[in-house]
Amino acid sequence: MKKKEAMEHWKHLEANQPILPVMTVIPYGARGSRYGTCGIRIDGNPAFVDAVLSRLKDLLEGENSKTLISLNRSTIENVMDKNFVNKDDAAECCYIRLMERGNHGRILRAVISGTKSKRKAAAASTAHLGL
């Protein structure tokens, strides 16, 4: 899609659509590149990263007994073979993806939550494993 077409498409999108329902979950134990999976990359100064994150708070609901938010936020440093001459001061990069929890993680999350219903649901979903 060319820029003009992409801008026109963007312009006509309904505002504030929820992200989580259309975000594909990466299966538990998946190996290899995550390129092409549903994910978000934000880079720039810390204030910019925070401003964008503040608009994505509905994604926090992805941290639950079945899924977890894979979140990596780190400072961008110049390295020997790359010099990021245009980067903002204290530039950061933040990656966000939605991952499926493994069975042990589901049980632990339910126990930590302290609710009987979640513990029962987690136990029932893993009963066949003998855990």
Per-residue CA distances from 32 to 41, 80, 100 (Å)? 18, 26, 15
**Full-model pTM:** 0.72
The whole-angstrom separation of Cα 92 and Cα 51 is 13
pLDDT at 110: 65
pLDDT average per 10 residues of sequence, the chain (131 residues): 96 94 94 93 95 96 94 83 78 95 69 63 64 53
Terminal Cα distance for the chain, rounded:
50
Whole-number Å distance between alpha carbons of 69 and 101 = 10
| CB contact at 8 A, 97 and 39 | yes
